[in-house]
Structure 1
């Protein structure tokens, strides 16, 4: 480097010029005001500037609260890392991960993860979007027409608009509720225990296993066969297990 160039022993210090440029930029957007002429000029934060500093400090503090260490991971890896956490610690991880990156990019990452094959990640992605709050609404509304995300998006929007979580399911059509049931069953089959999969039958809107099987066959979820096979293997009732295997075979072969 040139010893007489900027920053060298014989050159001018570039810091004052850079600092002046930064202060002028902040002043131009109303974040601070400059008081006094010449070298004695002072910069004072405006209410907007104080708010911006407060937000940045809050983001730094939130980002520091990531005991599970997921903050630098991709959205999908972060969600998988939170899968075994209870809701409180999981929300803390979501908030820390979100605070460490721009909102738009974080939303895109979470929704891309939700579009993947893992139903558990899909559900967790929308849990993380709940931690974003109102800023996520346009992005969630935009994906409500995607079949694989629609039930999750509609539930998210209903809760965001003030519906009780237990009543939010009323916004889903019967077909959407059945699709969501299969998707949740796929998550349980992949990551849960057999007894949980059997208990999941009780949450179906159809009320009876034969009614559920009829509608599950028609809903077109890509994991239907695997879910029915897993249910048949886990269910203690031989007659119902046989009906599930028959339904799985019919879906697999395109029969009725």
Structure 2
């Protein structure tokens, strides 16, 4: 289903990749959109309209199928892995789902604050759709959205205000914030305030105030669908926009009327904007949408079950905490820590730790990156160009591509294997026991201590002297320990 949802975006992405391969390259405008000439060129090549090309281009960018570098489109890792890795299709669609708010332009009269509130409140709406496991009345979604926005404003300690209504001769006049004294007086007075009496319906329900906004005075909040702040787009219009955008990315379906046909993204907007009576409008998640919401909920549960409580720690602090754990609990801790962050920021933070001086944390950082999986591939591939990270990165890439972990070290050169041996020995010397450092000698590829010492001295690892000194102090053979100390001295003084 994910492949089908992104099939058109893949076509445009592959067209852009071919253009780059032929040396022309598909250049984007400053805002990332496709210029008219390029859109027409792609439309001719793919037998589409320029409007369809632009829509598919935007979806390809949001799904990570296309990456822009200096205004030139390059194929993303998901496009490169599209034919051989099903997870690339799923991750691409999830990226599109996460960017649903960019799939359709927000109402022109909606302020940035109102749009941000809807985006922040929508996960609760999606949770209701998921738990309902079927169509839900749009009116119910509207009520939940308004309630959640009111909660968000309460959490921010926003003071509500209302339009002036008492004898207002000028309909455009707007009152300022209600003074605290007046609010308290109205609450304590036994007689109803005149303004409240004017703006309350005879049955105590909702009635329009002087500014034309419907207010539910029984509950002290705007009625469902009313304008969020008395101006601009109403929350009903913003909900329509959100549902339309979710339908556009394939996460939402709008069941039809009596025939039961399910409308797709193309005609969802028309229906949500009033194609049916408000009480009959419904929406439900598609199978892909249900799966995506389930994944998000699972991530929240995983993050809440961190056994060692390192979710809010930095990558370095988390890895230090995991150094005391066995592999199984450590992986659970990695997953919990990663679930609370975006993949990109988590990968960057882990690689920053790997570039530090602590060799143990360097190895643990790449263990955590194995938990990240495919989203870490571009950054790890780039890290392979850094000498200090190259052995770890090459081993990671071999295992990620399905290679046998037992034979993965074969991809390393002799120098890279020696550098990794010294780095691992440094981790053992700093955090392990002396007997483990002695046993580490058996893992050297050289096969003999003299040859190992010769190549260790030549590899240029910054911790070579400390490793050799620690090894000489730990080894029970006096003759071998003396040879190791001599090698440490020669490295320290730069002698042959």
Q: Secondary structure at the match of 1:57?
A: helix
Q: Which of 314, 318, 322 is equivalent to 1:78?
A: 318
Say which SS state the counterpart of residue 33 (structure 1) adopts: strand
Selected match of 1:39 from 278, 283, 307: 278
Residue 2 of structure 1: CA displacement? 5.4
TM-score normalised to structure 2 length:
0.49
TM-score, structure 1 length as denominator?
0.93
Q: 1:244 to 1:102 in 2, by over 3 A?
A: same
Matching of residue 150 in structure 1 with residue 370 in structure 2: no
1:186: Cα distance to partner? Answer: 0.2
The change in CA–CA distance for 1:226 and 1:10 in structure 2 (over 3 A counts) is closer
Structure-1 residue corresponding to 2:460: 220
Measured in 1, the distance between the counterparts of 2:370 and 2:399 equals 9
1:3 paired residue number? 161
One of 308, 316, 330 as aligned partner of 1:90: 330
Query: 2:252 aligned with 1:252, yes or no?
Result: no
Rg larger for: 2
Q: What is the Cα-based RMSD across aligned positions, in Å?
A: 2.0
Aligned residue pair count: 256
The answer as to 2:376 corresponding to 1:136 is yes
Does residue 58 of the first structure (1) align with residue 216 of the second (2)?
no
User: Structure 2, unaligned stretches of length 5 or more?
Assistant: 1-158, 164-212, 229-234, 256-270
Preserved CA contact (<8 Å) 1:4 1:10: no
Q: CA separation of 1:197/1:47 partners in 2, compared to 1, >3 Å: closer, same or farther?
A: same
Summarize deviations over 1:211-254 as a string: whole Å, max 9, x none. 11000000000000110111111111111111111111111111
Counterpart check, 1:208 vs 2:455: no
What CA deviation, in whole Å up to 9, does each residue of 1:72-129 have, x standing for no partner? 1111111110001011000100111111111111111111111110000000011111
Instruction: Tell whether 2:247 aligns with 1:27.
Output: yes
Unaligned runs of 5+ in 1: none
Give the CA deviation at 1:184.
0.1
Q: Which moved more, 1:227-236 or 1:133-142?
A: 133-142
Q: SS of the counterpart of 1:166?
A: coil
Secondary structure of the residue aligned to 2:406 is: helix
> Using the alignment, how far apart are the partners of 2:363 and 2:389 within structure 1?
9
More helix, by proportion: 1
1:191, distance to aligned residue in structure 2 (A): 0.1
CA distance in 2, matches of 1:25, 1:58: 24
Moved more, 178-187 or 152-161: 152-161
